């Protein structure tokens, strides 16, 4: 029922946007007042009543797709202009990544995001690493292209009505995305570009966390395991602001380094310490902490704690990302081995990940997950 209501609500919103677009077109081309428009609408044909608004919805969807590409492209261009190095470029679930000197396309998705551009910052002292233009690049791209569309609408006479409708939708979507990303806010706990910039401006630790995450993510996507990276990258000796997703995510990376070295006890206690602050941490990161805490609880024999952690919500989250994140397959393998007492299934999961290894985006992560599964399964004489 909720799904149906959402669809109906989305349709009604779309019709409203379409009618607004249709009125703007008529106002610009025929100087039609709102009262005249409403009068004509009352006597409109089926095409005028539903066809034009539906076409406006189609243009709006297409414009959204284009503006997301332009937004991420803005980050890419501004990053490259300030010395950053390309790592990957994602639109929805399609990611362009450089691996082994070649460009490849792989599937990956993060709920709540339409795209992502990952770059590596230049090798400079922390205070000298540029970040403002890189973060502002997406908003600038949306605003610039929206302004170009508006300039064409105003300056060029005799534009075909369909093209005019598209330009209006394109400009409206561009301005909307610029506002969504240019006004500091958090959606589902995830900060937008402006919120990230505000956090980076006021907190040196947030900037350090961002820079180190970019370095680590780049190496992981290129195939390096955390345990193969410099240990100094994973040293965090200051108090964490748990409301800052950048700091929390980097702290998780530091614990991931311990896990990759199979320091299970240290990892377990570090994760438990983070879980004490779950009310301050955004949902997705809290789920990630829960996943790794469940894993370490199982491999260290803490069965009661594992049962407490193995909630319906967490299992749903694991299921949601199991196809794109090898870490979720690693967890399912250990659940099958210790919780379900099914070593055959655990072995099947391990072998499936080995077969699909090249398909994963995070090659360093999948190498790590395969090694950890192999270590545990060998210890339990499953392999």
How does DSSP classify residue 279?
Answer: T
How far out from the chain centre does Cα 272 lie?
Answer: 25
- How do 102-107 and 190-191 pair as beta strands? unpaired
Residues of the chain predicted below pLDDT 70:
1-52, 92-93, 99-115, 188-189
Contact between residue 119 and residue 134 where contact means Cβ atoms under 8 Å apart: yes
pTM (2 decimals)? 0.78
Model pLDDT for residues 229-270, shown as the tens digit of each residue: 999 999 877 788 898 888 999 999 999 999 999 999 999 999
Neighbours of 292 (CB within 10 A): 21
**What is the distance between the alpha carbons of residues 169 and 174, in angstroms, rounded to a whole number?**
8
Q: What is the DSSP string of 310-321?
A: --HHHHHHHHHH
Query: In this structure, which long-range contacts are made by residues 325-329, counting pairs with CB atoms below 8 Å and at least 24 apart in sequence?
Result: 325/360, 325/362, 325/365, 326/353, 326/357, 326/360, 326/362, 326/365, 326/366, 326/369, 326/370, 327/291, 327/292, 327/365, 327/369, 328/291, 329/353, 329/369
Instruction: For residue 13, give every residue at least 6 positions away whose Cβ sits within 8 Å of its Cβ, in sequence order, or none.
Output: none
Q: Yes or no: say if 281 and 289 are a contact pair by the CB < 8 Å rule.
A: yes
pLDDT at position 6: 46
Spatial contact of 83 and 47, defined as CB atoms under 8 Å apart = no
* Whole-number pLDDT of residue 3: 40
Say what angle helices 2-30 and 34-42 make with each other, to 10 degrees.
120
For the record, the structure tokens of 100 come out as 């082994």
């Amino acid at each position: 029922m909720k799904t149906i209501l959402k669809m109906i609500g989305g349709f009604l919103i779309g019709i409203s946007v379409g009618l607004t677009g249709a009125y703007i077109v008529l106002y610009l081309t025929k100087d039609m007042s709102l009262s005249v428009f409403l009068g004509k609408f009352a006597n409109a044909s089926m095409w005028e009543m539903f066809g034009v608004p539906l076409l406006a919805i189609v243009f709006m969807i297409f414009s959204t797709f284009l503006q997301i590409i332009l937004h991420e492209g803005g980050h890419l261009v501004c990053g490259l202009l300030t010395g950053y190095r390309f790592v990957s470029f994602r639109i929805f679930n399609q990611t362009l990544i450089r691996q082994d000197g070649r460009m490849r396309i792989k599937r990956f998705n993060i709920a709540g995001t339409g795209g992502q551009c990952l770059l590596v910052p230049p090798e400079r002292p922390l205070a000298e690493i540029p970040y403002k233009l890189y973060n502002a690049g997406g908003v600038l791209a949306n605003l610039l292209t929206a302004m170009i569309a508006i300039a064409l609408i105003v300056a060029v006479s005799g534009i075909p009505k369909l093209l005019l409708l598209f330009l209006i939708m394109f400009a409206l979507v561009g301005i909307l995305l610029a506002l969504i990303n240019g006004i500091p806010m958090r959606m589902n706990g995830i900060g937008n570009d402006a919120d990230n910039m505000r956090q980076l401006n006021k907190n040196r630790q947030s900037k350090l966390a961002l820079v180190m995450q970019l370095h680590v993510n780049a190496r992981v996507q290129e195939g390096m395991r955390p345990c193969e990276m410099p240990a100094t990258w994973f040293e965090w000796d200051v108090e964490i602001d748990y409301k800052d997703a950048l700091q929390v995510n980097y702290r998780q990376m530091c614990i991931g380094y311990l896990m990759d070295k199979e320091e299970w006890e240290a990892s377990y206690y570090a994760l438990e310490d983070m879980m004490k602050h779950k009310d301050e941490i955004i949902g997705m990161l809290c789920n990630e902490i829960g996943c790794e805490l469940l894993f370490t609880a199982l491999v260290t024999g803490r069965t009661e704690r594992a049962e407490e952690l193995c909630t319906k919500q967490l299992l749903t989250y694991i299921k949601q990302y199991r196809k794109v994140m090898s870490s979720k397959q690693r967890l399912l393998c250990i659940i099958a081995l210790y919780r379900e007492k099914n070593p055959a299934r655990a072995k099947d999961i391990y072998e499936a990940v080995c077969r699909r290894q090249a398909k994963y985006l995070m090659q360093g992560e999948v190498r790590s997950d395969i090694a950890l599964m192999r270590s545990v399964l060998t210890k339990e004489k499953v392999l």
